[in-house]
Amino acid sequence: MIVRVAQAVSKSQVEEHILVYRKSEIEQLVRKSITKAVHNPSAATGQSESIKAGLHHISKNSKCCLFFMGDQPYINALVINEIIAAWEVQPDRIIVPLYGDNPGSPVLFPKHYYQALMEIHGDHGGREVVKKHLDQVVFIEIKDQKAGLDADTYSAYINLMPE
């Protein structure tokens, strides 16, 4: 599943691909699709540590960042590029994809939110920053609702994948 996500990112307009991983096996699986790999020894303390690890390694000239979850096997370059295109129109806004009525991933954060992202703790991701800045969020409707599906367990993944 993580390979599918990494391949989608590498085929998109995303310029820098930083993988934050817990197990070295993950890094080995996607090595060809990424720019940089960062081991996160604090992953057990929650999503916030992965976000911080990624931001510590992002290039200084970055204008925004997208956070991907490794459990979206149907995310694709077209959806990723739609999110980037929405940001290009409103570069000061947080861009959140909507899959039907459900907000999902990946979420795009302009650079001026990096400090707010560095201040989150525990098993909270960027949603905490989104909630605090709802007036600065642009929700974009993604027609390919399948792209928003995630699989939090192996059995969920098997149920999502075609036979």
Return phi, psi of residue 36, to 5°.
Answer: -150, 145
Q: Which residues contact 8 (CB under 8 A, 6 or more apart)?
A: 75, 76, 77, 80
Q: How confident is the model at residue 159 (pLDDT cuts 50, 70, 90)?
A: confident
What residues are paired with 20 via a beta bridge? 38
The tokens describing 2, both together, are 């993580």
Q: Which of 63, 70, 103 is nearest to 87 (CA)?
A: 63
Please state, in angstroms and rounded to a whole number, the distance separating the CA atoms of residues 69 and 127. Answer: 13
pLDDT reading at 121 higher than 60:
yes
Q: How confident is the model at residue 162 (pLDDT cuts 50, 70, 90)?
A: low
Q: Which domains does the chain have, with CATH numbers?
A: 2-150 (3.90.550.10)
Please count the other Cβ atoms lying within 10 Å of the Cβ belonging to residue 137.
Answer: 15
Measure the CA–CA gap between 39 and 52, rounded to whole angstroms: 12
**Angular region, 117: left φ>0, alpha ψ -120 to 50, beta rest:** alpha
Average pLDDT taken over every residue of the chain:
90
